Amino acid sequence: MKASLCFIACLLSFSAAEQDERLPNKCEVCKFLTTELQSALDKTGRSKEVLELGEVLDTGKRRRKIQYNTSETRLTEAVDNICEGILQYRIHAERPGSLRYAKGISQTMSTLKNLVNKGVKVELGVPYELWDEPSVEVADMKRQCENMLEEYEEVVEDWYFNHQEQRLEKFLCETHVLRNSDSECLKETWKGDMGIKESAEESEKEWIEGKEGKGQTDDAGEL
């Protein structure tokens, strides 16, 4: 019974967590900006394509050739709409700090949807069809990402052409963006959520069994 009550309290607190006014800080924005940009660059890092630079109709001059994977074109293509990728993140309320931002459905939301599928009425204050929409926090991170990318455009270019021996996160975030700010979020790494998953599944099972024990299985429960 105690575990069930804890589980219900956890679920009820989820709505508040989703609407938390604690918007992403500068460290978190830089962390995920560099994650997305590095991921985009990694996809084209081994390209053997060669670009020819110069006017097509300029037959009097020899066109210059350059490797795509070291070209400005590759960087431009990677940067274009990079902050749109932020909208794929979701709030994982069961995780601490910057780790609450991750792609894919959160364990808490997965549990809530499982309850809905079992006929339990779950009220989060927003329509069910909007549960998968980006949260206020994620939308704000996208906005901050765009502003940060514009402000530090030259720094990103400097790293790309001259300092790729350094990690992008270290060069952009630690050395420039967060030079006089808190950078603790950069040290946060996720080590897996199996423990959280098992705990949530056990609590859900106990909660459902508790409803069954009270003869409430015929009607949809309400949370």
Per-residue pLDDT for the chain (223 aa), expressed as one digit of tens each?
334 434 444 444 444 444 445 899 999 999 999 999 999 999 876 655 655 555 555 555 555 667 677 788 889 999 998 999 999 999 888 888 999 999 877 677 777 777 877 777 777 776 766 666 778 999 999 999 999 999 999 999 999 999 999 999 999 999 999 998 899 999 998 776 544 444 445 544 544 555 455 554 444 444 5
pLDDT at 111: 75
Residue 16 lies in a domain: yes
pLDDT at 155: 97
* Kind of pairing between the strands at 89-91 and 64-67: unpaired
pLDDT at 108: 73
- Reading phi first (left if > 0) and then psi (alpha if -120 to 50, else beta), residue 49 is in beta
Domain that holds residue 123: 2-210
Most distant pair of Cα atoms in the chain: their distance: 88
Residue 42 lies in a domain: yes
When divided into structural domains, the chain yields a total of 1
Residue 41 lies in a domain: yes
Residue 179 lies in a domain: yes
CA distance readout (Å), 68 to 46, 76, 112, 200: 9, 11, 46, 47
pLDDT at 35: 95
Residue 219 lies in a domain: no
Residue 222 lies in a domain: no
pLDDT at 132: 67
Phi–psi pair at 119, nearest 5 degrees: 95, 5
Residue 108 lies in a domain: yes
Distance (Å, rounded) from C-alpha 139 to C-alpha 77?
22
Residue 142 lies in a domain: yes
